[in-house]
Amino acid sequence: MLAAAIHKKQLKFFMDIIREHLWNPRGGPVKNATLRQLKVFEAVARRLSYSRAAEELHLTQPAVSIQVKQLESHAGLPLFEQLGKKIYLTPAGREMLYHSRAIIEQFKEVEEALAGLKGIRGGRLNIAVISAGDYFFPRLLAEFCRRHEGVTVELAVDNREEVLRALSENAIDLAVIVRPPEGMDTEAQSFAPQPYVVVAARGHPLAHRRRVALRALAQEKFIARERGSDTRILMEEVFAEHHFRPAIAMEIKSFETIKQAVMAGIGVSFLSTHTIGLELALRRVAVLDVQGFPVMRHWHVVHLRKKRLPPVAAAFKQFLLGEGAPLIEKMTRSGRRAR
């Protein structure tokens, strides 16, 4: 409570200063200036170049010039003067630069204070993901934590059964799985595609054939995940739809062990492309061109419907919904290229 009260006092202090500098209700020459104009002006003043400022801000040079001219119009004085090919700050420009930097810094402090009040900074993210997510999910967490300093993460990587048990017991805030649970009062939203394929050793006789019929795999030995796992449930659903019964030679809980068995030529397997990116890139396994594949499913972020998510969990959920798919695509692209 004390920390929150301090943050509120800081926030009021920042806003009072900003109003005094920029939006003074008593009037003033720059009362209609915008933060965007100040940021553009500061970049030009720092670099003393419209073109370099435009490059830094990812804007066109005309757009930068317009922002500066609008700010000069509000100020009623020129902020730059040009001598030859170079530009210099005028006395008014130097004064504007001093206050612009102060205001930009104050806005940054306001954002940090608001993040603190929302509970993101310093918050704890308690989350669980099924084993297939182990190959990309830590990098998603790393990107989120990079953007939100001070966040700590408690991550569990387990099979579907254990993840759902933790969710039902309210031991975690969020679960990341492929198949939303049935019979639980949850809210599930998809955020990224999850392709599944049939994988074999590089030297497998079917590795170079095209449009392989599923029935051609009837004599193959399948190395499968254990019963109850997301991958095993999906495999059984897909094969049942095609009236195909695979010959299960092994049941293994570890994706790494399954891949080693496939590479050794013991059998083939039904796996997500997200779990074999490295092996594809190193050309250690082959994706069989089976008709009807890849089978597309989606990753879901799930929480109990009545649960009030902590701010950091709500922020991470929005991060997944907004950016999860393109980030996962970027992370797994190299593996698909090697296919």
Domains belonging to the chain, first-starting first, are 2-118 (1.10.10.10), 124-191+298-337 (3.40.190.10), 194-297 (3.40.190.10)
CB contact at 8 A, 271 and 195: no
The C-alpha atoms of residue 40 and residue 28 are separated, in whole angstroms, by: 21
Each residue's pLDDT expressed in tens, for the chain with a length of 339 residues: 434 444 455 455 445 545 544 444 344 555 567 889 999 999 999 999 999 999 988 899 999 999 999 999 988 899 999 998 899 999 999 999 998 988 888 887 776 666 666 677 778 899 999 988 888 899 999 999 999 888 989 999 988 889 999 999 888 999 999 989 988 999 999 999 989 999 999 999 999 899 999 999 999 999 999 998 889 999 999 999 999 999 999 999 889 999 999 999 999 999 998 889 889 888 999 999 999 999 999 999 999 999 888 889 999 999 999 999 999 888 776 444 444
Structure tokens at 261: 């068995």
CB contact at 8 A, 42 and 104: yes
**Predicted pLDDT at 12:** 52
**Predicted pLDDT at 169:** 87
Strand partners, 89: 80
Q: Of 177, 159, 137, nearest to 252 (Cα)?
A: 159
The C-alpha atoms of residue 261 and residue 269 are separated, in whole angstroms, by: 9
The C-alpha atoms of residue 1 and residue 126 are separated, in whole angstroms, by: 23
- Say if strands 221-224 and 186-201 run parallel, antiparallel, or are unpaired: unpaired
- Residue carrying structure tokens 């109850």: 228
The C-alpha atoms of residue 148 and residue 316 are separated, in whole angstroms, by: 10
Question: pTM to 2 decimals?
Answer: 0.61
